[in-house]
Amino acid sequence: MSVAVTASDSLVVRTVPIADPGDLIARLPHPAALAWIRHGQGVVGWGEAARITLPGGPGRFADAGHRLRELFGAAHVEDPLQIPGSGPVAFGSFGFDPKSPDSVLIVPRQIIGRRDGQAWLTTIGTGPHPHPLAHPPAPPTQLAWSDGALSAPAWEQRVAAAVERIRAGHLGKVVLARDLYAQAGEPIDARVLLQRLAARFPGCYTFSVAGLVGATPELLIRRSGGRIDSLVLAGTTARGADTADDAARAARLMASAKDRQEHAYAAEMVRDALAPLCAELTVPAEPRLLALSNVMHLASAVHGRLDGDRSVLDVLAALHPTPAVCGTPTATAMDLIRELEGMDRGRYAGPVGWVDARGDGEWGIALRCAQISGTRARLFAGCGIVADSVPADELTEAQNKFRAMQYALEG
């Protein structure tokens, strides 16, 4: 597999502590933003010191790691902090399908980070670092909506076809996604979407990488030294109209055999994928409820300690794709997705996040997101289909999941 790397020269990297920068998103000077933020902490970047593009293939995570080690290993680095996210960092987003040619890692020219009371500025590259002229963010206007690859009734028919395959014993679960388009009057500024998402969903991981913008509730993997953490989400319901309705919906979700089965598939796969990499691994026996502003999920928090010097990209290679975004068995589900969805997901439902020179990083699954291209936004939403799934109910769930990005665009 060939991997394209573009960089001017050997990178010169300098990290310095700074005073609290305040709102990280507000520090972004340009719509082409790079970001990974939760509860006001994280990293943002702009400019481009290097870019790694990867074609599809089963070795893309290993090749990405190899190219980054070469790039960062040749760099001259001054980093007195030596904490996750300091020093050189690459923001990345991988295609969902191993055949996808959309995977990319971007090393920005400037990074501002904040974690556990510490803040820092990292400059990367050779030559001067002029601060770009600030472009004030402007909300999208004149939005017009249209169907993506499939209309709602056509997508329901595909869900019904998937249920038939599952009941016939071909597979246990498949995740089917829909897309939806928004057309704006002027180019869409990622910073506006980031600000709205971070304010509305502070507990989610708000991200922006190469035009893919969203707020995912699902932490695929965090590596900090030898420790790893993952949050498995599968099984969803909308929030209630009032407190009583909310409590009733939560109780039904926790008691739902369909949603419990869907969640069990995802949690078991994460356990099986991580166990060979870990000296210690803790997976809860029962899921808990995770309530967001628009939906509730069944959630399992997984913790472990790696048994060797493995980068976060090595762990990604073992985890992706999970049953939460693909299905089980994985190969059968992937083939059915290619057959039924009628579209290329691109980087939707693929890993998104960042990795530093030590191999630390945080990566989520690119959910509740949109691909921004000029004046156009392509939104995505997916649902886990099992034997007793009802197509109309799955369509309602997908529409609920679209709402996060519809809010980000409409305000």
Q: Is the CB of residue 292 less than 8 Å from the CB of residue 264?
A: no
Tell me the backbone φ, ψ of residue 166, rounded to 5 degrees. -65, -45
Helices (H) and strands (E) in the chain, counts: 8, 24
173 assigned to active site: yes
Residue among 48, 99, 156, 218 flagged as catalytic: 218
Q: Left, alpha or beta for 28 (phi > 0: left; psi -120 to 50: alpha)?
A: beta
Instruction: Please name every residue paired with 381 in a beta bridge, in sequence order, or none if there are none.
Output: 178
Contact 60, 104 (CB under 8 A): no
Residue 363 in contact with residue 93, Cβ under 8 Å?
A: no
DSSP secondary-structure letter at 134?
P
**Both tokens of residue 6?**
């573009």
Terminal alpha carbon distance of the chain: 43
Residue 99: active-site member: no
In the set 173, 262, 362, 397, the catalytic residue is 173
**SS3 state at 175:** strand
The catalytic residue positions are: 173, 218
